[in-house]
Amino acid sequence: MGKVFNTTADCKPKLHYMVDISGRLKEITGLVERGEYFTINRARQYGKTTTLRALKHALEEEYLTVSMDFQKIGESKFRNENTFSIAFARMFLRALSGNKKEFNKQIEKSVQALTYAVLNDSDGIELLELFEFLSDICAASVKPVVLMIDEVDSAANNQVFLDFLAQLRAYYIDRDVTPAFQSVILAGVYDIKNLKRKLRPNEEHKVNSPWNIAADFNVDMSFSALDISGMLDRYEEDYQTGMDIRMMSGLLYDYTSGYPFLVSRLCQIMDERVAESDGFPDKAAVWTKEGFLEAVKILLSEKNTLFETLVNKLTEYPELKDMLYMVLFSGDKISFNHDNQMIDIAAMLGFVKNEQGTMVIANRIFETRLYNLFLSEEEINSRIFAAGVSDKNQFLQDGFLNMELILEKFFVCWEELYSSADEKFIEDNGRKFFLLFLKPIINGVGNYYIEARTRDNKRTDVIVDYHGKQYVIEIKIWRGNEYNKRGEKQLMEYIDAYHLEKVCFHTVNFHLVENSIIIMLS
């Protein structure tokens, strides 16, 4: 069986198509060489576990690496330091046993002492005693010892875990006089510096700076277009599809901004679901722009753990939901500031990013999924959505959209429902109402997205993909002929910059003087 694209658990080079992460591993190895303690905190399904396992292999020649996963420690083990210390020691010994070829007599003696304590102390051992055993093992090892703990934030709402971090901190500070780990690497969604985010409100007193020694981790773990090209090169060697690798890697990056799961999932959908479906008889037909857009449509409609996390966090943090709604529909520009709790949470979870000092949605897939979510919450009571549903069939001609007719009908609906709207109403709701009208027309067949460079409360470019044909709809407030001409020029420059083909360019102007919409077609 050949390699496949993988979106579950860690990726294995012999089994899965992967990007080359050797550059990242070199950066992380540099932190280990300097003796840093640090956290690899990235969003869900961002390649943390894959990176840790590859790092263990990269370090094994120079270091004795002990790799653990805190998801394997049950919640009951955190009830006090005795039960936690025993559970940690058992897992540590089990992980250490995989390095027996590195053992000498001294380390064997230290391991035996810890094993005896685990097996024979019915009351358990205290954290201080546990760290004395760990220090003895570090002292006895010929190679420096590196401790790696995955899914560390699964334990972060327990006081005993904070006490454990405090002991790590103490040993790190005294490492010049007391043997300790060469480096400690913790991986999870939550930065250990932000443990407070995980604590329940009545437990916030637990935070007491246990990890102010943690080094900054600034390694970019997203995939660049060049990274994606390398992965597709290896796929192409196996299947000779004739794909335009540069074009395909560019599309994958444009829609995902290099989010590892989204890149791999789109490739997986093309390879496994789009292939041999209607209109795509073979892999050569799949690895095209049309095949890619079909995969985007499937991804946006599927239920997966990443999207479930996104929705769950919006429920958990209503303020976050309100903030994202404002950015998407009102075009509000919000400065990126980690001191703002909601922005910090959204960035930590991978939902937003810092783009030249402004907070923006992290990628086009997340943005469209959020648009779909917010629009679906308003569909039931939306009269303009109902109009789009009732008029749907008349907008299709020979399998393609009659965008001129769509805009004309939208104009009629707007006049009937919102002819007396003021500028503030239009700025806050104009794009939302147009998308509500458009969504049932293209639903199930086409996709849409908002061009990020033109998303503000004065202008929005909606790009619609339908059966391989693209339509660019410019939505803006009418502010005079000169402003309108500048907008048209900017939009044509945008079309040229993206080398768009088969483009229909339409402008919807909300004309405030006459309380009507002027529809300009080209």
CATH number at residue 100: 3.40.50.300
**Is 348 inside any structural domain?**
no
Residue 201, both tokens: 């409100």
Which position has the token pair 């490739």?
A: 267
Domain carrying residue 285: 225-302
Which residues touch 105 (CB under 8 Å, ≥6 apart)? Answer: none
- What pLDDT band is residue 213 in, cutting at 50, 70 and 90? low
| Residue 270 CB contacts under 8 Å (≥ 6 apart), including other chains | 286, 287, 291, 292, 294, 295
**In the predicted model, what is the mean pLDDT of the chain?**
84
Q: How far is CA 371 from CA 41, 368, 377, 450, in A?
A: 27, 5, 10, 10
Specify the pLDDT at position 223: 97
Q: In angstroms, how far is the first alpha carbon of the chain from the final one?
A: 52
User: Does some domain include residue 373?
Assistant: no
pLDDT of 276 higher than 90: no
Together in a domain, 72 and 151: yes
Residue after which a domain boundary falls, among 252, 287, 302:
302
- Which DSSP string do the residues of 214-248 spell out, in sequence order? PBP-----SPPHHHHHHHHHHHHHHH-----HHHH
Are residues 251 and 106 both part of a single domain?
no
Q: What is the mean pLDDT of residues 281-308?
A: 94
**pLDDT value at residue 109:** 92
- In the structure, what pLDDT confidence band is assigned to residue 3 with cuts at 50, 70 and 90? very high
Vertex 440, ends 437 and 441: CA angle to 5°?
Answer: 85
Q: Based on the domain organization, do 271 and 392 belong to the same domain? A: no
What is the pLDDT, as a whole number, of residue 514? 38
Domain boundary among 150, 174, 206: 206
Considering the domain architecture, whether residues 269 and 409 belong to the same structural domain is answered as: no
Tokens 């086009």 found at:
364
Residue 227 is predicted with a pLDDT of: 97
Q: What is the mean pLDDT of residues 342-356?
A: 91
DSSP 265: H
The pLDDT score that the predictor gives to residue 271 is: 97
Q: Residue 144 phi/psi, 5° resolution? A: -60, 145
Longest alpha-carbon distance in the chain:
90
- Please report whether residue 320 resides in a domain: no
Percent of the chain predicted with pLDDT > 70: 82
Q: Which residues contact 401 (CB under 8 A, 6 or more apart)?
A: 395, 441, 442, 446, 464, 466, 469, 471
pLDDT digits (tens, 9 = 90+) for 449-458: 887 666 555 5
Contact 180, 172 (CB under 8 A): yes
Report residue 299 CA to chain centroid gap.
Answer: 14
Tell me if 350 is assigned to some domain.
Answer: no
Is residue 52 within 8 A of residue 60, CB to CB? The reply is no
Q: Is pLDDT at 464 greater than 80 in this prediction?
A: yes
Both 45 and 163 in a single domain? yes
Phi/psi at 147 (nearest 5 deg)?
-105, 125
In this structure, are 282 and 170 located in the same domain? no
Burial of 242 (0-12, 13-18, 19+ CB in 10 A): exposed
The DSSP call for residue 491 is H
pLDDT number for residue 296 = 95
What pLDDT digit, counting tens, does each position of 484-518 carry? 666 666 666 656 655 555 445 555 555 443 333 33
Tell me how many domains the chain contains: 3
Looking at the fold, whether 177 and 235 belong to one and the same domain comes out as: no
d(CA 437, CA 226): 38
Q: Could you tell me the two tokens for 307? A: 């999207």
- Tell me, yes or no, whether 192 and 238 share the same domain: no
Distance of CA 305 to the CA centre of its chain: 11
pLDDT of 207 strictly over 50: no
What single letter denotes the amino acid at residue 332?
D
In a domain, residue 1? The reply is: no
Three-class DSSP labels, 386-415: HHHHHCHHHHEECCEECHHHHHHHHHHHHH
Find out whether 145 and 66 touch, Cβ atoms under 8 Å: yes
Q: How far apart are CA 72 and CA 75, in angstroms?
A: 9
Token reading at 156:
């972060």
Q: What share of the chain is helix, strand, coil (3-state, %, to 5)?
A: 55, 15, 30
**pLDDT value of residue 200:** 47
Q: Which phi and psi angles does 191 have, rounded to 5°?
A: -65, 135
Q: Which residues, other chains included, contact 117 with Cβ-Cβ below 8 Å and sequence gap of 6+?
A: 89, 125, 129, 133
In a domain, 334, yes or no: no
Q: Judge whether 188 and 217 are in contact, CB under 8 Å.
A: no
Shared-domain flag, residues 259 and 170: no
Q: Give 137-183 as a DSSP string.
A: HHHH-SSPEEEEEESGGGGTT-HHHHHHHHHHHHHHHTTTTS---SE
Domain-located, residue 310? no
Residue type, 309: T
SS3 212: coil
Give the lowest-confidence range in 44-58, 282-296, 412-426.
Answer: 412-426
* Contact assessment for residue 443 and residue 464, using Cβ atoms and an 8 Å cutoff: no
Same domain (yes/no): 170, 143: yes
Residues 135 and 263 in one domain: no
> Which of 148, 173, 206 corresponds to the end of one domain?
206
Domain-embedded: residue 313: no
Indicate whether 79 and 195 sit together in one domain: yes
